[in-house]
Amino acid sequence: MKRFIRSLYTIVLAGVVPLVMWRCEMAGSADVGPGATGVGGSMARFAITDNTLYIVTHNSLDVYDISSPSAPTRKGKAELGMGIETIFPYQKNLFVGANDGMYIFDSRQPQSPVLLSKYRHVMSCDPVVVQGSFAYVTLRGGAACRQWNNMSSLDVVDVSNPANPQLLNTQPLETPYGLGVDGNKLFVCEGEKGLKVFDITNPAVPTQTQFLTNVPSYDVIPNKNTLIVTGKNGLYQYRYDSQTTGTSLELLSKIPVE
């Protein structure tokens, strides 16, 4: 009996100690300070930079001041066309994906974003990610408005002058959803078809290096050489190397769906 109690005690302690440590970690860890903001995937309609929360509804960009985090106050609203889908903040700009194009805002005054340009493309759905002066946009065809053009594509757009974006390259895709970029790697979710990895050593010309057809994918976050992928089979995490070319992904873990 004594032994039983002792082992029970050990089990409880083993359970509680990591929990306590983890709570401390949450409060004190360097990368999760009280005001730290995180990173979303490319499909996001919500984005936070410092004291500003951006929400894209299907027809507007709404700006909230969250300097008092538990009391968001609406600071502004930019009415946009219909079919707004995603927002991606990058440095001093906001990139908003819509059914008929990509809006680029100047966000140097975070709570009064200024529309700089709209890069128009054929009707589709188009999350966007940005690295350096290159924006990567996936266009998913097959929407009702595109019966004459069922093509999906990956477009590379030069945004070095955000007021005048220029198409650099386009290549066909199958059924793209979210995408993510880090260093030399570009990851593209192809829905039920799988997950594609592109080498972007030449940032203007993505070259496909890997196609995981057994990983249905909807959205990705590449972060510090760990790739987080969600899809209908669950959540997958991979190790990658953002600096080298052509190396393959190494599976770290999977949380399957029930």
Partner 1 sequence: MKIPFYSLLLVLGLAACNTAMDEAPPGPQFDGMAYRPIYATAQEQKDIKSLPARPLRNPGKIYLLGSFLFINEMGSGVHIINNSDPSHPENLAFVSIPGNYDIAVKGQWLYADNGTDLVVFDISDPTKVQIAKRVEKAIPLSKYPPFQNTYFECVDDTKGVVVGWEKVAMSVRPNCYR
Using CB under 8 A, list all residues that contact partner 1.
Answer: 22-23, 25-27, 29, 31-41, 43-48, 53, 55, 57-59, 62, 64, 66, 69-72, 74, 125, 140, 142-145, 147, 218-219, 221, 223, 226, 228, 230-232, 234-235, 237, 239, 252-253, 255-258
Strand partners, 125: 140
Distance between CA atoms of residues 107 and 210, nearest Å: 35
In the complex with partner 1, the residue whose CB is nearer, 194 or 231, is 231
Distance between CA atoms of residues 91 and 126, nearest Å: 20
Determine phi and psi for 6, rounding to 5 degrees. -65, -45
In the complex with partner 1, the residue whose CB is nearer, 81 or 168, is 81
Nearest partner of 56 among 83, 90, 91, 93, judged by Cα: 83
Tell the smallest beta-carbon distance from residue 177 to partner 1 (Å): 9
Nearest partner of 90 among 36, 54, 139, 126, judged by Cα: 54
In the complex with partner 1, the residue whose CB is nearer, 7 or 57, is 57
Tell the smallest beta-carbon distance from residue 159 to partner 1 (Å): 23
Phi-psi domain of 192 (left: phi exceeds 0; alpha: psi -120 through 50; beta: other)? alpha
In the complex with partner 1, the residue whose CB is nearer, 168 or 228, is 228
In the complex with partner 1, the residue whose CB is nearer, 13 or 204, is 13
Tell the smallest beta-carbon distance from residue 201 to partner 1 (Å): 25
Nearest partner of 244 among 188, 197, 205, 199, judged by Cα: 199
Distance between CA atoms of residues 115 and 66, nearest Å: 22
Tell the smallest beta-carbon distance from residue 2 to partner 1 (Å): 32
Tell the smallest beta-carbon distance from residue 218 to partner 1 (Å): 7
